[in-house]
Structure 1
Amino acid sequence: MADRVTATPAALELIEKLQKRHGDLMFHQSGGCCDGSSPMCYPREDFRTGESDVLLGEIGGTPFYMSKDQYEYWKHTQLIIDVVDGRGGMFSLEGPEGKRFFTRSRVFSDEERRELQL
């Protein structure tokens, strides 16, 4: 079955570095506002999810969430989390690293949509 969220080797390397420094992590794909629409990385205990969030999967052993409203727009795509040079979101843990997580996406194939029952 297709994964709803995956990560590049560079993203997995940065996740591992941040886990060593901060412990268990989690991601939430922001829906705009202050930091645009970026994958935000937090210490797992510092961000509360609720009924309005969807767990898309895990990357590097780290849960990845998105709000239900935003998920409705993105559910036909696979999110591919990557890393680029630049400042991360001001609340995201990668900010001081001179890197930021970045979301790329691709539309699921017809077969993958059937598997995912979309």
Structure 2
Amino acid sequence: MVDRVVATEEALGLLEKLKSLHGDLMFHQSGGCCDGSSPMCYQQGEFLVGESDVLLGKIGETPFYMSKDQYEYWKHTQVIIDAIDGRGGMFSLEGPEGKRFLSRSRVFTEKERKELSE
């Protein structure tokens, strides 16, 4: 089964560090239409999700949500979360670590699209 969202080893390492500092976490991406966009990382429950959000899946047991509007841009791709040097969003938990989460993507193959629709 193909996942709609996955993470690099760098992102998973940063995520584990943040979990050790802050407890259970969640991601939400509400902006950006393409590679280079930054999801926000929050303590679980600090960002209220609703009917206008889509749960893409989990990375490292951490739920990853995207606004429905953004999902329309990304639905044909697998979202790949990476961690790079730099400053994240001012409310995102990774900011003080000198790192930021970054969304990349790749287009699903025809076979993967069929699996997702089943």
Please confirm whether the aligned pair reaches a TM-score higher than 0.5, indicating the same fold. Answer: yes
Measured after TM superposition, the shift of residue 30 of structure 1 is: 2.6
Of Structure 1 and Structure 2, the greater helix share is in: 1
Aligned length: 115
Where structure 2 has 5 or more consecutive residues not aligned to the other structure, the ranges are none
Is 1:30–1:37's contact at 8 Å kept on the other side of the alignment? no
The alignment yields a C-alpha RMSD, in angstroms, of: 1.4
- Percent same amino acid among aligned pairs? 76
Please tell me whether the aligned partners of residues 30 and 66 of structure 2 are also in contact (alpha carbons under 8 angstroms).
Answer: yes
SS at match of 1:56: strand
Which digits, 9 at most, give the CA deviation of each residue in 1:47-92, with x for residues without a partner? 1000000000000110000011110111000000001100111010
Aligned residue number for residue 60 of structure 1:
60
- The answer to whether the 8 Å contact 1:30/1:38 transfers is no
Gaps of 5+ in 1: none
How far off is 1:14 after superposition?
0.4
Compute the displacement of 1:38 (Å): 1.2
Output the TM-score relative to the length of structure 2.
0.93
Aligned partner of 2:8 in structure 1 is 8
Which runs of 4 or more aligned residues in structure 1 lie more than 4 Å from their structure 2 counterparts after TM superposition?
A: none
TM-score under structure 1 length normalisation: 0.93
Please name the residue that 2:74 is paired with: 74
